[in-house]
Amino acid sequence: MEGSKKIAIVTGGASGIGKALCSELVYQNVFVIIADINDAEGKLFEKELNKNSINSRYIYLNVTDFKSVEGVITDIFKEFGRLDYLFNNAGIAMYGELYDMTIEDWIDIMDVNLWGVINGTQIGYLIMKEQGYGHIVNTASAAGLGPTPVSSAYSTTKHAVVGLTTSLHYEAEDFGVKVSTLCPTFVDTPIFEEARAINLNKNVIMEQFKKQKMMSPQKLAKLTLDGVHKNKAIICPMPLRRTMDIFFTLFPQAHKGLMRLVCKVSRKARIS
């Protein structure tokens, strides 16, 4: 199959960051599988990407279901004879204090954000190891690199994704497989509107988020693929994040102060 078009699977490909990654991959001459649970948006987007030539296919895929993930990835590999990229990107957000959460909230977010990534990685890695090449990109978050008060469940899932991905980055090297984690900060996507807010007023949270400087998903996608081509273990494309890392390493007290401020500001959205 050498010389044939590269193949990418992008979970959560029907919206936000996943959608922008699909567009950028097509621009870079990669055939993309848009894998999502949003049939309406996924099919529309497939049509848009295929306007001039066939560059993509939408497939319904719920990443929480291992058998479905195994089926889709295996079928795509069998059909195309290769799997160049797997972006385990589907994710949901959840805000709330731990004492307001139920165990069902935990299960819901762990299922999508962590098990969804594990399910894809488990199958994608075996296939790529066998073919001797390929690149897995797992979307975590800046919330996977440090504390995120009043979003501790989200932060838990993203820390786990960073741990899994950075470990596998080295484990996979000997087999020709590349593995990277994407850690964005604020990207302008529907995730904030869609998020589950537990005992918090969504409007107040949205007002707080609107004060953040957001990066466009298109810009993020370009920077992400630059990081992928450089085989970075952690792709952290927001300059503010890097500046803050240096600042907080030098001044840890300032970090504590910021985290306490995040708590205080987030609690202003409490309903009861």
In the complex, what is the shortest distance from the CB of residue 208 to ligand NAD, in angstroms, rounded to a whole number? Answer: 13
Q: Is 244 in the site for ligand NAD (CB under 6 A)?
A: no
Out of 58, 133, 154, 170, which one is annotated catalytic? Answer: 154
CB 172 within 8 A of CB 178: yes
**Has 170 been annotated as catalytic?**
no
- Interface with ligand NAD: number of residues (CB under 6 A): 29
Whichever of 199 and 218 has its CB closer to ligand NAD, that residue is: 218
Burial 211-220 (b: 16+ CB within 10 A, else e): eeebbebbeb
* Residue among 132, 137, 173, 175 at smallest CA distance from 2: 132
Give 147's DSSP letter. -
Looking only at residues 12 through 41 of this chain, which bind ligand NAD when binding is defined by CB under 6 A? 12, 14-18, 36-38
Whichever of 211 and 252 has its CB closer to ligand NAD, that residue is: 211
Residue 166 half-sphere exposure, CB side, CA atoms within 13 Å?
14
What 154-159 contacts at long range (C-beta under 8 Å, 24+ apart), as own/partner pairs, is: 154/93, 154/94, 154/95, 154/109, 154/113, 156/110, 157/91, 157/109, 157/110, 157/113, 157/114, 158/113, 158/183
Q: Binding mask 209-228 vs ligand NAD (x if CB under 6 A, - otherwise)? A: --------------------
Stretch that binds ligand NAD, among 60-68, 78-86, 171-179, 227-235 (CB under 6 A): 60-68
Whichever of 5 and 47 has its CB closer to ligand NAD, that residue is: 47
**Alpha helices of 11-115 — where are they, by DSSP H?**
16-27, 39-49, 66-80, 103-109
* Residue among 17, 54, 16, 9 at smallest CA distance from 35: 9
Whichever of 30 and 195 has its CB closer to ligand NAD, that residue is: 195
Q: Is 139 in the site for ligand NAD (CB under 6 A)?
A: yes
Q: Is 11 in the site for ligand NAD (CB under 6 A)?
A: yes
Q: Binding mask 174-193 vs ligand NAD (x if CB under 6 A, - otherwise)? A: ----------x-xx-xxx--
Q: Is 64 in the site for ligand NAD (CB under 6 A)?
A: yes
* Residue among 85, 96, 79 at smallest CA distance from 151: 96
Q: Which residues of this chain interact with ligand NAD, rule CB under 6 A?
A: 11-12, 14-18, 36-38, 61-64, 89-92, 112, 116, 139, 141, 184, 186-187, 189-191, 194
Enzyme catalytic residues: 154
